[in-house]
Amino acid sequence: MSQTVIRNLTNPNRSTILDVELRQVVKVFNDQTVVRGIDLAIARVSFLAFLGLPAVAKPQYCA
């Protein structure tokens, strides 16, 4: 299994392993584009919050 490793910009000697990566993710739902090409990397043991107004299809990212 290949592991994606990115350099930690603040500390180049420390690398970060990514648990989750979204690459150019698009979601069309009932002819409506609710996710428009998202790129996202979530590092291991981090705590990321998706924050948005109600009804902006936030749960789509998780589900």
Q: Which residues bind other proteins (CB under 8 A)?
A: 1-4, 17-28, 33-38, 40, 42-54, 56-63
CB of 7 to other proteins, least distance (A): 15
Report the residue number, 13 or 47, with the smaller CB distance to other proteins.
47
Report the residue number, 8 or 60, with the smaller CB distance to other proteins.
60
Alpha-carbon dihedral of residues 18, 20, 24, 25, nearest 10 degrees? 180
Q: Which long-range contacts (CB under 8 A, 24 or more apart) does 4-7 make?
A: 4/41, 6/41, 6/43
CB of 59 to other proteins, least distance (A): 5
Contact, 48 vs 42, CB < 8 A? yes
